[in-house]
Amino acid sequence: MGSRGLRLGLASCLLLAFACGPVLGRAPRGPQELQEQEGTKEPPLDHAERDEKNHEKYSPRQGEDEPASRCFRCCDPGTPLYQAIPVPQINITILKGEKGDRGDRGLQGKYGRTGSAGARGHTGPKGQKGSMGAPGDRCKNHYAAFSVGRKKPLHSNDYYQTVIFDTEFVNLYGHFNMFTGKFYCYVPGIYFFSLNVHTWNQKETYLHIMKNGEEVVILFAQVSDRSIMQSQSLMLELRDQDEVWVRLFKGERENAIFSDEFDTYITFSGYLVKHALEP
């Protein structure tokens, strides 16, 4: 409570004093006084006589000053005007309590609707030219290609034979070994290979393109009364040090490939299509 309760008690006392003062100022009359008033009552008068009597009673006589304090009725003529007594004002600030503690923060309200997009702003001024950047790395190009041929015929025997080529058309960086008849991969990536041979009449043609000792594709031609050109091609994804070559099947069947010293009937080619590090 403290000072707040004291202020509330003081305000209540003031209000009670203003409300009960006029009532307490009127003392109750005793029975003797009431009888004397009843005994002195005059007979009732009519309206005109009552007005004349009241006028004589309350009007000042000649040569006399009006009394300082006198009662008037609102209906009497010549009733003086009195200034209204102001109603006493109570200072409400004495009833105001002390400031309370700050309350907890409320929950966040819902988000409002998204407004429409505004108009596009004006184009800003052109900026200044930037400084020159650092030089980039040198463009790295990767190449690998070969194309070789054979001018001698080859017949099968009791074991598999690697086709050895005697003519070199293109051998970039020497990746195709003419002594072993094999292509060695030094640039990993995707390669394209192509094999072309001339068949021998009345004999089969039976070869394989090999990769690291495994048969990948076959080139085959059946026995025929005439010789024809036969071809095979494919694409391979090679890693570093992979090997690719051509192998003639062993002598379980009579097979051979034809060629002579005047023309090149057998060719084997390959080249890099895409480097492994390119996206």
User: HSE of 184 in the Cβ direction (CA atoms, 13 Å)?
Assistant: 11
251's tokens: 């002598």
Q: What angle do CA 127, 128, 129 make, to 5 degrees?
A: 120
Q: 155: closest CA among 207, 213, 210, 217? A: 207
User: For residues 146 and 118, is the Cβ–Cβ distance under 8 A?
Assistant: no
Q: 270: closest CA among 207, 208, 209, 180? A: 209
User: For residues 185 and 239, is the Cβ–Cβ distance under 8 A?
Assistant: yes
User: For residues 273 and 144, is the Cβ–Cβ distance under 8 A?
Assistant: no
Please state whether the predicted TM-score (pTM) of the whole model is above 0.85. Answer: no
Q: In tens digits, what is the pLDDT along the chain, a chain of 279 residues? A: 555 666 666 666 666 665 555 544 454 455 555 555 555 555 555 556 666 665 565 555 555 555 555 565 666 666 566 566 777 777 766 666 777 888 888 888 888 888 888 888 888 888 888 888 888 766 667 899 999 999 999 888 888 999 999 999 999 999 999 999 999 999 999 999 999 999 888 888 889 999 999 999 999 888 888 888 999 999 999 999 999 999 998 877 788 888 888 889 999 999 999 999 888
User: For residues 217 and 246, is the Cβ–Cβ distance under 8 A?
Assistant: no
Query: d(Cα 143, Cα 136) in Å, to the nearest integer?
Result: 21
167's tokens: 């003519």
DSSP 75: T
Cα 183 to Cα 214, 216, 232: the distances in Å are: 14, 15, 17
**Can you give the pLDDT at residue 30?**
53
Query: d(Cα 170, Cα 271) in Å, to the nearest integer?
Result: 10
User: HSE of 213 in the Cβ direction (CA atoms, 13 Å)?
Assistant: 1
User: For residues 7 and 94, is the Cβ–Cβ distance under 8 A?
Assistant: yes
